[in-house]
Amino acid sequence: MTEILVADVGGTGSRIALFQDGRPITDPVSYANCDYDSFESILDNFLAGTDYRPDLAACAVAGPVHGNSVQMTNLGWQLSGGSLAQRFGLQHVEIINDFGALAWATLSLKESDLRQIGGGEPVRLASRGILGPGTGLGVSGLVHNTATWTAIVGEGGHVSMSAGSAQEARLIKKAGEDFGHCSAERLLSGSGLALIYGYLGGDRQPAETISQRALSGEDKALQAIELFCLMLGTVASNLALTLGAQGGIYVAGGILPAIGDLFASSGFRSRFESKGRFSEYLCAIPTFLITADYPSLSGLNFFMCQLAGNNLHPD
């Protein structure tokens, strides 16, 4: 029996769990990164609290991965798969991008882990696109080639933002003047939602507060959320066309699950489908909001099972 440790290492917190033969054997444990001086000390704490001794491990980390290692600039931590394997006596440790893990998660999520927004049906074995506004804007893809799946990761959140209305054009122009360039992430992230709210005349507030105000019915917060969702629809449709993502577009991140009903009733889907000659093509592509609590952990487990040859190939 193969035991796999999986860890989602974020900018402020880390979540760790153990799987055995594809199934969870512990509940996820969350850690505040500020309480530890390294990821290794977090792993020491986790392993001290369990009798299991994993064979393999995988860590999902925000940021570009080079040579199975990553430098976390906001924490000053460096995670190296080889060093972690040696330090904890593991056969192998894989470091992958956090949205690569989410791409793999789309193969293991249950129907109850997803909320479909709009119509469309996924095409079997067709490419999938994943994006999610949170601290930043993560983007990835998943493609099938002959017998297996491959995750595509990059820095798609930093593409230039395009406008779908005169109001959006004014917002993008203002952000470009203020920051030198308006990427999609500049507006479609936690700080981006705050920026939109401020441009509409709102006071300086974090995304969580703006979301709560929108849920309470505040008009300016509702306007900010609507603009946010419309522009996300633009980026999602561009991703769907780029990847030919007839397997679906999956939306994750920390902002939208908290405002699920507002997102579902927003103009996201209508903007997604509004693509001129390719509107019919996009109408057939389903869009899903990922509602699972820890999707990256299941994605890491799925990836490692495939790497270990456990043949968890979905239909």
Task: Work out the mean pLDDT of the chain and round it to a whole number.
Answer: 93
pLDDT attached to residue 306: 84
Beta strand 29-32 pairing with 13-20: antiparallel
Residue 38 pLDDT exceeds 70? yes
* Rounded to 5°, angle at Cα 76 from 72 and 77: 65
pLDDT, tens digit (0-9, with 9 covering 90-100), for 152-182: 998 899 999 999 999 999 999 999 999 999 9
CA 83/CA 195 separation, integer angstroms:
40
- Class level of CATH domain 112-290: alpha beta
Cβ pair 282, 244 in contact under 8 A: no
pLDDT, tens digit (0-9, with 9 covering 90-100), for 95-141: 999 999 999 999 999 999 999 999 999 999 999 999 999 988 999 99
Rounded to two decimals, what is the model's pTM?
Answer: 0.92
Residue 315 pLDDT exceeds 50? no
pLDDT attached to residue 43: 96
Q: At what angle do helices 190-199 and 219-243 cross, to 10 degrees?
A: 130
HSE toward the beta carbon, residue 243, CA cutoff 13 A: 30
Instruction: Give CATH 3.40.367.20 domain extents, the chain.
Output: 112-290
pLDDT attached to residue 312: 45
pLDDT attached to residue 310: 56
Residue 225 pLDDT exceeds 80? yes
- Given CATH 3.30.70.260, say whether it is the number of domain 3-104+294-307: no
Instruction: Give CATH 3.30.420.40 domain extents, the chain.
Output: 3-104+294-307
Distances (CA, A) of 149 to 14, 126, 143, 219, 288: 27, 10, 6, 44, 20
Lowest mean pLDDT among 13-27, 65-79, 193-207, 251-265: 65-79
Q: Is the dihedral of CA 157, 76, 180, 227 positive or negative?
A: positive
pLDDT attached to residue 144: 94
CA 242/CA 80 separation, integer angstroms:
32
Give residue for tokens 């709560």.
Answer: 212
Residue 200 pLDDT exceeds 90? yes
* Rounded to 5°, angle at Cα 175 from 171 and 177: 120
pLDDT attached to residue 76: 83
Residue 270 pLDDT exceeds 50? yes
CA 227/CA 251 separation, integer angstroms:
17
Backbone angles phi, psi at 231, to 5 degrees: -70, -35
- As a whole-number percent, the residues of the chain with pLDDT over 70 amount to 97
